[in-house]
Structure 1
Amino acid sequence: MNNDISTMDRVKVGLVARYRRERRFRMFGLTAIVASLLFLVLLLASIGAKGYTAFRQSEILLDIHFDPAVLDVDNLATANYAALVREAVLALFPEVESRQDKRTVAKLVSSGAAHALQAMVMAKPELIGTTRAVWVTADDEVDMFVKGHIPRDVPESERRISDQQAAWIDRLIEAGRLEQRFNAAFFQAGDSREPELAGIRGATMGSLFTLAVTLVLSFPVGVAAAVYLEEFAPKNRWTDLIEVNINNLAAIPSIVFGLLGLAVFLNFLGLPRSSSLVGGLVLTLMTLPTIIIASRASLKSVPPSIREAALGVGASKMQTIAHHVLPLALPGMMTGAIIGMARALGETAPLLMIGMVAFIVDVPQGFHDPATVLPVQIYLWADSPERAFVERTSAAIMVLLVLLLAMNAAAVLLRNKFERRW
């Protein structure tokens, strides 16, 4: 009896200790999740706080006189539009007389204002000889000052805006001629050395072209390889070797694929450097292992009874795969492909190796045009010294995160809508 009591006591003590360890382990797990979410929220909040101001741009209202003496109808493309902008700015500050002050006050307006006037006149030549109120982009330093990124309460020698320029800016604001408006150029323009003129359209189009090439090449090849390995390939040492190598390729650093693309596609095949075509080929090599693994897992999830039933009614092996197994496995394959595309969208290292780090001003119109992608654009802007590029870098990260979240959400929706549980 005493032995029984002592044994039960030992069991109870052991249970108490085990439950205590389980609670401690559960608490550690919950703490890790909360800490991860907290760091994620802090990261997103930091990016959002720095980047949301990029969606607004300071603009100045000028009364532009489209002087016929300056705008020669036969040479509208080469006319001196900067002179029209300069005269309009000086008209707002008639007290400015010295040459140095005139140059300083003219710098309140971005150099892109002349190009905007050129586009207006080229589209509507009837503007010549008229005076129109036109909103033009302010210089990036003016924009930073208006948004509070350049403080007023520091000595003049420690900021990029002088006291005189600050007084001119205040006059423009009081007169209702300087406002923050939606920054459409951020979404419509390509890259630029001037922060106020830089946009993400070129990088976004480059990303879309690159992903299109990647999807068109990687999805059919990946699915075909998965079907062969899972349904047709004999089980021997060669197929085992192939499977091991596919799993290893999925874990290889992405820059290795960039080196492979540099050696094969550029040096050996001579394809155009810094093009979406080469970028898509490199990302295809990188995403193929992921798609093959996901497709094989989807094929394995189809019950053997489906195959047996199809074969039992006289279907061939190919008919069984094409008409019964593939349609049931396709949702999982599509989910794997979208996840692979999301990974490709965020890649930078392999594209740097093939020259997609170049400064590309024009928006690419095709797969052979020089292009860059959003992650590389972010990398370039993050290395720029101008303060205005800080907010544009964060804003571009926000756009990239939205695209990645959209692709991952599409993968989840496809899986939930089409997935069948057996």
Structure 2
Amino acid sequence: MTDQPLNAIERMAAVKQERLNARLKARYNRERRFKAYGIASITAGLAFLAILLFTIFSQGMSSFWSTFVQLEVSYDAEALYIDDASDPEQMRYADFDNAVRQSLLQRFPDVSGRADTRALSSLISTSAAYKVRDRLIENPDLLGETETLWVLADDDLDLVMNGTIDRNLPESERRVTDQQLQWIDQLIAGGEIDRRFNTTFFTRGDSRDPETAGIWGAVVGSFYTLVVTLALSFPIGVAAAIYLEEFAPKNRLTEIIEVNINNLAAVPSIVFGLLGLAIFINFFGLPRSAPLVGGLVLSLMTLPTIIISSRASIKAVPPSIRDAAMGLGASKMQVTLHHVLPLAMPGMLTGTIIGMAQALGETAPLLMIGMVAFIVDIPQGFTDAATVLPVQVFIWSDSPERAFIAKTSAAIMVLLGFLALMNLLAVLLRRKFERRW
């Protein structure tokens, strides 16, 4: 009689154990699947990032090199239509394009006809004439003489040299004709074509010609804009964080202010651009496309980030620091300025650098205040017309010239380098000055 109940109990226990094992197995399977999904997501994200970086770097590396062509330039007075190289008025109206064209025709004497001459001249950049002019201004004694010069090639010739234009395509499917390819091959065979590091890309402003376009104007504009942003957002943000965290009474008004600060951090950046357009430009009459206005707009956008990170740093300071200072007779202001603020400053600086890196990569708010203009000259001050690196990328990406594709990628590489340096600086500052309690 007792064996039957025991067997039933054992069977029930076995069934329960089987069910428990099945549930455990299902749970472990779900955990393994979830882990596999996480690994797959991270792998896919890294793969897409690698593809993006590879595409940018593979397209942009060619912009760091430029093609030069060797010419025998004759400073013939009749060809230049001048008789005195020291006369600024004559030099202003001298035909230096004709000097470059005659040098090419001397190198290729078989070329005749207006169409062939135009096709041959199109292999040389329009900046070659300015180089010839500058050489004659520096050395007026060159008038009537001949000199060997290395001049910048046109972007089409440069695309042929870096392999962007496929020579094997039919003539109707590429910008360079078969005749131009023959001239290029003759120049290569004669050692009259050279590839050099493109210093122009880092020393000049924007240009309609891809081979002479550079990022220096945008870099200087970004510098002036960030200086204004830092000068306004850092002291105001730190002061606001100190007041809200240490001095402000905890009431309904401060709660509303804190909620609005958190909401401002999530507002789309273009809204700040519209605000800057309405207030700083239309109401106050500040100049459009100026680093001053750009810095004011980016300050409004960066302030919430700095305030939030600064408040978090102040909260991280142990209350015992405050209590000890108060116990020794320090006032509230002395406790804050002499003890709390120095300990919280590393976190504040880290948040500020991250906010500045975010401001460096912004485009939309600056488009609204006119910093999308075509700027050739390097800005000399905070009120000069200027653009910034992200906007320069936007301008070049919208250009129909194929050579600007490489310029766009190269500018993105420079921008990513600046952003990486700023984030690295934030990490180093945090590790160097951070104190654990």
TM-score range, shorter chain: over 0.9
Aligned residue type for 1:412: V
Alignment length (residue pairs): 422
The higher radius of gyration belongs to: 2
Q: How many Å apart are 1:8 and its aligned residue?
A: 4.8
Secondary structure of the corresponding residue to residue 150 of structure 2: strand
Partner residue, 1:386? 401
Pairing 1:17-416 to 2, within 5 Å after superposition: 17-68=26-77, 70=80, 72-75=85-88, 76-416=91-431
Between the aligned partners of 2:165 and 2:220, the Cα distance in structure 1 is: 33
Contact 1:294/1:336 (<8 A) preserved: yes
Task: Indicate if the aligned counterparts of 1:77 and 1:118 stay in contact, CA closer than 8 A.
Answer: no
1:48-98 per-position Cα deviation (integer Å, ceiling 9, x unaligned)? 111111111111011223335535311234432222211221111112232
1:7 shift after superposition: 4.8
**Counterparts of 2:92 and 2:137, CA distance in 1:** 7
Shift of residue 326 of structure 1?
Answer: 0.8
TM superposition shift of 1:11: 3.9
Q: What is the identity, as a one-letter code, of the residue corresponding to 2:180?
A: Q
Whole-angstrom CA distance in 1 between matches of 2:144 and 2:333: 74
Gaps of 5+ in 2: 1-8
Percent of paired sites with the same residue: 60
In 2, distance between residues paired with 1:145 and 1:190? 24
Cα displacement (A) at 1:101:
2.0
Q: Does 95-104 or 411-420 show the bigger shift?
A: 95-104
Would the aligned equivalents of 1:255 and 1:353 in 2 still touch at CA under 8 Å? yes
Q: Distance in 2 between matches of 1:231 and 1:250?
A: 22
CA distance in structure 2 between the aligned counterparts of 1:241 and 1:126, rounded to whole angstroms: 76
> Match for residue 15 of structure 1?
24
Q: Distance in 1 between matches of 2:18 and 2:291?
A: 72
Supply the distance in 2 between the matched residues of 1:169 and 1:110 (Cα, whole angstroms): 14
Distance 2:434 2:249 in 1: 28
Contact 1:77 1:122 in 2 (8 A): no
Q: CA deviation at 1:10?
A: 4.2
Give, as a single letter, the amino acid of the residue that structure 1 aligns with 2:254. Answer: T
Q: Secondary structure of 2:68's partner?
A: strand
Higher mean Cα deviation, 95-104 or 377-386? 95-104
Superposition RMSD in Å = 1.6
Note the C-alpha offset of 1:377.
Answer: 0.9
Measured after TM superposition, the shift of residue 5 of structure 1 is 5.4
Contact 2:57 2:410 survives alignment (8 Å): yes
Q: TM-score normalised to the size of structure 2?
A: 0.93
**How far apart in 2 are the matches of 1:104 and 1:371?**
35
Per mean C-alpha deviation after superposition, the further-off stretch among 217-226 and 134-143 is: 134-143
- In 2, Cα distance between the equivalents of 1:325 and 1:101? 76
Contact 1:382-1:389 within 8 A present in 2 as well = yes
CA distance in 2, matches of 1:411, 1:122: 49
TM superposition shift of 1:20? 2.2
TM-score using structure 1 length: 0.96
In structure 1, the residue corresponding to 2:87 is in which secondary structure? helix
